[in-house]
Amino acid sequence: KNEVEQSPQNLTAQEGEFITINCSYSVGISALHWLQQHPGGGIVSLFMLSSGKKKHGRLIATINIQEKHSSLHITASHPRDSAVYICAVRSGKETSGSRLTFGEGTQLTVNP
Amino acid sequence: DAGVIQSPRHEVTEMGQEVTLRCKPISGHDYLFWYRQTMMRGLELLIYFNNNVPIDDSGMPEDRFSAKMPNASFSTLKIQPSEPRDSAVYFCASSLGTALELFFGEGSRLTVL
């Protein structure tokens, strides 16, 4: 079992739909990142969170530390949201330093 | 700020050749990370530096890989000799402290024939 698991692996939606991508992890963490990778390959950090919820525009990220689970929500999805979304966690262990463990990513396609 | 700058964006080379990838972090950032991305293994941390000092290089696959950070504004990742299985996209990222946001470069796509 991978330390970080994302679901679904692939997601196709129609423009305007509400989208949820899930991330579960099996280790204690100090922080969780959501990253976005566009077809051109560049990676952008969307959120870093260690508790609660963060919102930026149409994107919302939540984390439940007790359940070791995070979700990324996209409201009113748009074709330009089509990308791979990657969850990454930083272990809470002192010895892990700044090492991130990555999920395999969720390929999102939003059709017009 | 221009963001994290990597070069080259694309490199095609033959097996056995030396490859050098370069990274300029965002000014003022004290952490620099090198990642590799492949279809099979996804994103993997190779090495990271704090204040120009290598902290964790346990992700460096073999002795053929080496990384340096001679000053706060420049880092290199070198592969010598290169092999076809090194073909991947190599990302550099920087951050201010470990608790803050990561900023990625555009990546260097390496193809070893």
Q: Sheet holding A52-56: strands in order across?
A: A4-7, A19-25, A69-74, A59-64, A52-56
Are B45 and B59 spatial neighbours (Cβ–Cβ below 8 Å)? yes
pLDDT band at A40 (very low <50, low <70, confident <90, very high): confident
Give the nearest partner residue to A41 out of B48, B98, B107, using CB atoms. B107
* Interface residue ranges in chain B relative to chain A, Cβ cutoff 8 Å: 31, 33, 42-45, 48, 50, 55-56, 59, 89, 91, 93, 95, 98-104, 106-107, 109
Query: If you search the block for the tokens 């748009």, which residue do you land on?
Result: A78
pLDDT at residue A73, rounded to an integer:
98
Please name the residue that has the structure tokens 């941390």: B45
Q: Show Cβ contacts of residue A91 under 8 Å, excluding neighbours closer than 6 positions.
A: A27, A28, A29, A30, A99, A101
A25-50 exposure pattern, b = at least 16 Cβ within 10 A, e = fewer? beeebebbbbbbbeeeeebebbbbee
What pLDDT is attached to residue A15? Answer: 97
Q: Residue A27 above 90 pLDDT? A: no
**Where is pLDDT greater, at B26 or A3?**
B26
B84 or A42, which is more confident? B84
Closest-CA residue of chain A to B97: A98
Average pLDDT of A52-71? 95
Q: Which residues of chain B have pLDDT under 70?
A: 1, 99
Secondary structure letter of residue A81 according to DSSP: G
Average pLDDT of chain A to the nearest whole number: 91
What distance in Å separates the CA atoms of residue A24 and residue A2, rounded to the nearest whole number?
Answer: 10
Give per-residue burial for A58-85: e unless 16+ CB within 10 Å, then b.
Answer: ebbbbbeeeebebbbbbeebeeebbbbb
Whose CA is closest to B78, among B23, B32, B26?
B23
Residues of A in contact with B102 (CB under 8 A): 33, 35, 45, 48, 100
What is residue A30's predicted lDDT score, i.e. its pLDDT? 83
ω into residue B70 within 30 of 0, thus cis?
no
Flag whether pLDDT at A95 surpasses 80. Answer: no
Out of B45, B89, B100, the one facing A41 most closely (by C-beta) is B89
The pLDDT of A22-26, averaged and rounded, is 95
Look at residue A112 in the predicted model and tell me its pLDDT.
95
